[in-house]
């Protein structure tokens, strides 16, 4: 027989336990139950949360799911799905850098740390552009291109359009290899050199191009490709 939150003693309910003992005292299912707040007419929120975890293979899978995947699960409608997506985005932003904080790039590792958690498990190639000011502080990020499983086609105008609009002093390109191997291809090297030359004409320096793999990265500048 399913146990619903209302059937628990008041002091044993997830919200009350969180208030008394802290969030760390709750299981993953209980934390999700606090976020979702309610279940359905047929299913309590604790059971719904456990079903979410089972369906997506754990908490990481839930937080990496998109809207379409979430609403496929019986009991998860658009409202509950957007609650989960909002929490996932907050977690992602917190891992990268806190809203309002200045993030200064002084090495390729700094740039990789900024996006590694977000990009390491992507199934398609995405090219990001980090926009930097004269002090190498990140003032914004742009998704310049979304490619296929094996390639990402991008033109310098797509990279520099927003960089010019945002008065960038310099930029850093970062893209991922879904294979997990960050070794640069010939196209990676040639397109980087083309962007570097375009930047010289425009007056926005390309500082580096990083390729993100499975938990590691390669800097094309450190490797001497430009």
Query: CA 156, CA 13: separation in Å to the nearest integer?
Result: 55
**What's the confidence (pLDDT) of residue 99?**
53
With cut-offs at 50, 70 and 90, classify the pLDDT of residue 193: very high
Query: CA 174, CA 127: separation in Å to the nearest integer?
Result: 6
Query: CA 182, CA 213: separation in Å to the nearest integer?
Result: 5
Under DSSP, the state recorded for 144 is: E
Radius of gyration of the chain (CA): 22
With cut-offs at 50, 70 and 90, classify the pLDDT of residue 67: very high
Task: Provide the angle, in degrees to the nearest 10, between the axes of the packed helices 186-202 and 156-165.
Answer: 40
Domains defined along the chain, listed by start: 5-96 (1.10.150.20), 108-219 (3.40.140.10)
Q: Give just the sign of the alpha carbon dihedral 96, 158, 152, 220.
A: negative
Q: What is the pTM of this model?
A: 0.61
């Amino acid at each position: 027989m399913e146990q619903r939150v209302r059937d628990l003693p008041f002091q044993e309910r997830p919200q009350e336990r969180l208030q008394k003992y802290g969030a760390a005292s709750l299981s993953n299912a209980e934390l999700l139950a606090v976020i979702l707040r309610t279940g359905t007419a047929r299913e309590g929120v604790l059971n719904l949360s456990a079903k979410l975890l089972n369906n997506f293979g754990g908490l990481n899978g839930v937080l990496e799911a998109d809207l379409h995947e979430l609403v496929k699960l019986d009991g998860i409608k658009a409202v509950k799905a957007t609650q989960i997506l909002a929490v996932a985005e907050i977690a992602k932003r917190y891992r990268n850098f806190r809203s309002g904080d200045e993030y200064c790039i002084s090495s390729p590792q700094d740039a990789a740390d900024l996006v590694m958690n977000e990009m390491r498990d992507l199934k398609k190639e995405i090219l990001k552009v980090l926009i930097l000011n004269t002090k190498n502080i990140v003032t914004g990020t742009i998704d310049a291109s979304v490619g296929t499983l094996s390639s990402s086609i991008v033109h310098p105008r797509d990279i520099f359009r927003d960089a010019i609009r945002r008065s960038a002093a310099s930029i850093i390109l970062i893209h991922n290899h879904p294979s997990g191997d960050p070794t640069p291809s010939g196209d990676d090297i040639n397109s980087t050199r083309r962007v570097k030359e375009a930047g010289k004409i425009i007056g926005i320096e390309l500082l580096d191009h990083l390729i993100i793999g499975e938990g590691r990265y390669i800097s094309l500048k450190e490797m001497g490709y430009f």
